[in-house]
Amino acid sequence: MPSTVNGSITDSVTQVNTKVLGEVPATAMGDLMLTTSQALSAGGQNLATGQQQANVMYQAATVQGINALMNTGNAATGKVTESIIDRG
């Protein structure tokens, strides 16, 4: 028993398929742009965090250098003072 499908149904399905196929490139480009923008944002955040951490490290190194200079000065001053007291 042959069955026939109404032409309106066939046209409707064909139009829906054509619509979906037509939207695929735009959807793909949208997805690409979204993932690219998210990756660039993450890269920018990582860069800012790296700069902040480097600045903390530079500041700590500067403080350690100043402390070393000050301690060296105290040691030298102590040695000179000791030699002056020994002569007295």
The CA distance from 87 to 83, in Å, is 6
- pLDDT tens, per residue, the chain with 88 residues: 556 777 777 777 788 888 888 888 999 999 999 999 999 999 999 999 999 999 999 999 999 888 877 776 666 667 777 777 877 5
The CA distance from 24 to 30, in Å, is 10
Q: Output the pLDDT for position 79.
A: 74
Q: Output the pLDDT for position 73.
A: 61
Q: Each residue of 16-53: b (16+ CB within 10 Å) or e?
A: eeeeeeeeeeeeeeeeeeeeeeeeeeeeeeeeeeeeee
Q: Output the pLDDT for position 28.
A: 93
> Whole-model pTM?
0.51
